[in-house]
Structure 1
Amino acid sequence: MSRTQKMIYIALLVAQGVVIGLIENMIPYPFAFAPGAKLGLANLITIISLFTMPKRDSFTLVWMRLILTTLLGGTLSTFLYSMSGAMLSYAAMAFLRMLGPKRISIIGISAAGGFMHNVGQLVTASFIAQSWTVMLYLPILSFFGILSGIAIGIAANFLLQRVQTLQKFQTAYEHETNQNWR
């Protein structure tokens, strides 16, 4: 894969992540008893990037998506919450991916990412509120984060199996890492 192809691929994934993130921000919160709980649809792009490109490139993709989404429709506080959740989630998913396909599936990695995203956001909320009582909200958010992560993992698994362009990038990356996730 040439450098130009790689840059175009990253740019397309970033654009898709930004659009998905902005559309999701326009949707009212679906859970009245869990304000702030969202589906995390833009995480689909993060999962796909983890399985189709090196960690450095996928990490860059996450940062670009965060910054652009904030510039196009967010505030400093939304950036702080999104950034803390996304970075902790990304770190957990990248670590779990290293375990290999015999120990964990794409769906399991995504579910762990959904959970860790909520942990990151609640830790940030605790620092801002200067109270750890915010963490009492973790069980409710964890339930929805894990469910959302499972759904996004299923969608990512489906896309990685059905979209030929993603298969091409995944095959090239699997050849580099000597791990076959299919």
Structure 2
Amino acid sequence: MNHLRKIIFISLLVAQGVVIGLIENLIPYPFPFAPGAKLGLANLITIIALFTMPKKESFLLVSLRLILTTLLGGTVSTFLYSFSGSMLSYFSMLLVKKLGPKRVSIIGISATGGFMHNVGQLVTASWIAQSWSVMLYLPVLSFLGILSGIAIGISANYLLQRVKTLKQFQQAYEEETKIQWSE
């Protein structure tokens, strides 16, 4: 894979993640019993990045997506929540991914990300509120995060199998790492 093609691929994924994130910000909260809970649709791009590019490049993608989405439609507080959730989610998914394709699937990795994203945000909320009582919200958000993570994992799995360009990048990445996630 040549360098220019990689840069274009990263740029396109960042742009897609930003657009998805901004559109999701326009959607009213879908869960009336869990105010503030969102579907996390932009995390689809993070999952795709984890399976199509090295850690350094996927981290760059996640960081750029986070910064650009905040600059275009966020505040300092949304950045803090998004940053803590995204980073904890990203590093947790990397850690679980090390178990390998025989022990965990893309869907399981995505579900881990959905759960840990909420943990990161609630820890930040607890720090801002100076109270651990915010963590009482964790069971509800955990359930929603895992469900959302499963749906996003299924979507990512489908896209990685069906979209030719994604499949090519995934195969090149698998050849580089010698670990086969695709079928």
TM bin, normalised by shorter chain, reads: over 0.9
CA displacement 1:46-85 (0-9 Å, x = unmatched): 0000000000000000000000000000000000000000
**Scaled by the length of structure 2, what TM-score is found?**
0.99
- What stretches of structure 2 of length at least 5 have no aligned partner? none
What corresponds to 1:104 in structure 2?
104
Q: CA RMSD in A?
A: 0.4
Asked if 1:156 corresponds to 2:156, the answer is: yes
What corresponds to 1:165 in structure 2?
165
CA displacement 1:107-139 (0-9 Å, x = unmatched): 000000000000000000000000000000000
Secondary structure of 1:23's counterpart equals helix
What corresponds to 1:140 in structure 2?
140
What corresponds to 1:66 in structure 2?
66
Which amino acid is the alignment partner of residue 178 of structure 1?
K
What corresponds to 1:116 in structure 2?
116
Map 1:71-110 onto structure 2 (within 5 A). Answer: 71-110=71-110
Q: How many residues align?
A: 182
What corresponds to 2:16 in structure 1?
16
Asked if 1:49 corresponds to 2:49, the answer is: yes
Q: Distance in 2 between matches of 1:52 and 1:10?
A: 10
- What stretches of structure 1 of length at least 5 have no aligned partner? none
Q: Distance in 2 between matches of 1:135 and 1:174?
A: 39
Q: Distance in 2 between matches of 1:144 and 1:97?
A: 21
CA displacement 1:138-164 (0-9 Å, x = unmatched): 000000000000000000000000000
Aligned-pair distance for 1:4? 0.4
Q: Provide the identity percentage.
A: 77
Q: Distance in 2 between matches of 1:80 and 1:92?
A: 18
What corresponds to 1:3 in structure 2?
3
Asked if 1:34 corresponds to 2:34, the answer is: yes
Aligned-pair distance for 1:99? 1.1
Q: Distance in 1 between matches of 2:149 and 2:3?
A: 31
**Scaled by the length of structure 1, what TM-score is found?**
0.99
Which amino acid is the alignment partner of residue 54 of structure 1?
P
